[in-house]
Structures are given as C-alpha cells and as structure tokens.
C-alpha cells in the first residue's frame, strides 16, 4: 500500500520526524511511505495514493485520489479532516490521546489535593509553613464523575481507579461495559450526581448537544470542595457562569485546557479568576504523541 504522510504542524511534537516515520516503515515493511512537506506536493501525489496520514484533508481532495482506501489523522476532533462526500473513503481518527491526557488529569487532581499551589506561592515568599497543608486530602476514596465516557474518558478512569478513586462515567448511551469505571449512567442523571462527587471531568466532543452542559444551575449543585476539569471542548462549560462560581467560592478549583474561543484572548476574565488554572489546549502535548499514534495505526489499520 502506498501511503502519503503530510503532517506539518506549528507544534514541534505534532510534526512527524524522519526517525519516527522510519520506525513505522520498519514495523510495516509491506507498505511504502512518502513524506511530503507542502500542500501542493501532497495534492499532486493523491492520484496514486492508497492511504494518507494527515492533519487536514479537504473534501474536494477525495475525488483526486481514486485509489484511496482511508485517510487517517492523529486528531480526535472532526474539525480539519472532512468526510468523503461519496462515502467511498474511510476517515480514521486517533483515539490514543487518553494515554497522555489521563496523566495530565491526574497531575491536575494531585495539584489540588496535595496543595502544590501553596507550595509554589510559599517558595516565592521564602515561607516555611507546614501547617498550611493540614487541609490536604488523599485522592483515594474520592468520587470522580467523567462526563463523556468514550475512549478518552475510559483511559482517564483507568488511571483514577489505580490511585483509589471511585469513578462514574456519564454517557448518552449508558448500556455499555463500565470497566474500568465503577458504573456508567445516562446523561439525564447529571444534575442528580453533581452534589455527590468531588471531581467533575469533561471529555466531551464539540457537537451542539454539549453546549453549556455545565452552566450556572449545574455549578450551583456542586459541593464547595469540588473541582472541575475540562479536557474535551470549550463549548461544554458556560465560562461566565464558571467565573462567577469560582469568584464566589461556590466550587474549590477549575482546570481548563479548552475554551469557547481559542487562542484564549488576552483580555478574557478567565486569566484573573481565582482558583482557576489554565492550559493552552496542551493536555495531550507530549514528545510521544506521534509515536503513540503510529503504534495505534500499525496495530489497527496497517
């Protein structure tokens, strides 16, 4: 199979390196891989291609590749690779991200529960104050609700279970095997569960059914000690309502990796909101990113 590889990206770890592609080629010697640097080269090579590994693929390009069997992208989101209008060519999205993002989530939870925010501030002030840590808590025994229990949610659940949390997944279709979570419940039970949990984790896609799923009413139901984490898409949280809830101390902390507008504007009130930690859509950035994707492709597609 002749496979085109066109993966330029402004994030260095998202741009394929020759040694990474060499390892994939060694693992799949029956296929040939052609690395392309520019869009024009990629489009010109499509007529002979049988598969393509890309960050972006425009809908008109499918007609230029009559031999294409599938187009694969490491991205989990559906924004940049358009489906084939004819339905002839399969579109394959990566689902390895949870291996990285689960560790990011765990780091966020440990940051709050072990009060590393105090550690950083006290080091800046040259303050040695052990009594500041009397409110730290073990994660073991706490309850996490994962909203959006797909491949990413399951991988997050695996790590959280390993450190002793009770984990409930929330999913539109709850008739699935809950493992590794303790249970999976339907989305209609969200408001019922919010007062019962210590951590609310969002790993949702950006479809319209998830717009402001966590709004003012939902935030009011949460415990004052509870924390929110959004690792999915920014439309799932009402940001204005979150600012109010954090400023008033209605919830303990929030971690946002995604936002309603990206990049996050420099004048956004989120930057100065107390008890809010911000990542620049970076929870899946890792030196191993494309290595993990290539391993997935070799095992499942090639």
Nearest to 101 by CA among 43, 167, 51, 146: 146
User: Is residue 122 within 8 Å of residue 141, measured between CB atoms?
Assistant: no
Q: Which is the catalytic residue, given 39, 41, 135, 262?
A: 262
Angle in degrees, 0-180, between the axes of helices 98-113 and 151-162, rounded to the nearest 10: 40
CA distance 81 to 102: 25
CA distance 64 to 268: 43
3-class secondary-structure state, position 159:
helix
Active site residue 262: yes
Q: Which is the catalytic residue, given 56, 111, 122, 281?
A: 281
Active site residue 281: yes
CA distance 256 to 246: 13
Q: How many CB atoms lie within 10 A of CB 170?
A: 27
Helix, strand, coil shares of the chain as percentages rounded to 5?
A: 40, 20, 45
CA distances from 209 to 18, 42, 165, 172 (A): 40, 35, 28, 10
CA distance 227 to 112: 9
Q: Please report the beta strands in the chain, taking only residues with DSSP state E, as ranges in sequence order.
A: 2-6, 32-35, 51-54, 70-73, 90-93, 143-147, 166-171, 183-186, 199-202, 227-230, 253-256, 276-278
Q: Which is the catalytic residue, given 115, 154, 199, 233?
A: 233
Active site residue 189: no
Nearest to 139 by CA among 116, 165, 117, 118: 165
Active site residues: 233, 262, 281
């Amino acid at each position: 199979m002749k496979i085109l590889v066109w993966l330029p990206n402004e994030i260095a770890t998202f741009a394929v390196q020759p040694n990474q592609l060499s390892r994939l080629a060694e693992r799949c010697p029956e296929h040939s891989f052609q690395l392309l640097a520019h869009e024009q080269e990629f489009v010109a090579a499509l007529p002979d291609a049988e598969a393509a590994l890309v960050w972006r693929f425009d809908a008109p390009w499918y007609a230029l590749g009559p031999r294409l069997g599938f187009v694969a992208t490491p991205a989990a989101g559906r924004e940049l690779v358009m489906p084939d209008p004819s339905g002839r060519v399969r579109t394959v999205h990566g689902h390895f991200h949870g291996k990285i993002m689960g560790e990011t989530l765990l780091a966020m939870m440990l940051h709050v529960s072990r009060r590393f925010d105090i550690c950083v501030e006290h080091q800046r002030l040259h303050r040695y104050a052990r009594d500041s840590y009397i409110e730290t808590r073990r994660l073991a025994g706490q309850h996490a609700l994962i909203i959006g229990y797909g491949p990413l949610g399951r991988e997050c659940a695996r790590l959280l279970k390993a450190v002793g949390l009770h984990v409930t997944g929330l999913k539109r279709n709850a008739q699935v095997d809950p493992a590794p979570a303790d249970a999976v419940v339907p989305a209609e039970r969200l408001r019922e569960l919010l007062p019962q949990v210590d951590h609310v984790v969002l790993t949702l896609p950006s479809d319209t059914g998830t717009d402001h799923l966590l709004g003012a009413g939902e935030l009011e139901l949460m415990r004052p000690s509870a924390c929110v984490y959004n690792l999915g898409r920014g439309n799932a949280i009402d940001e204005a309502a979150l600012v109010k809830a954090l400023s008033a101390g209605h919830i303990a902390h929030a971690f946002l990796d995604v936002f309603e507008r990206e990049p996050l504007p420099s004048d956004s009130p989120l930057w100065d909101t107390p008890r809010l930690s911000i990542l620049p859509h970076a929870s899946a950035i890792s030196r191993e990113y494309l290595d993990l994707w290539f391993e997935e492709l070799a095992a499942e597609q090639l």
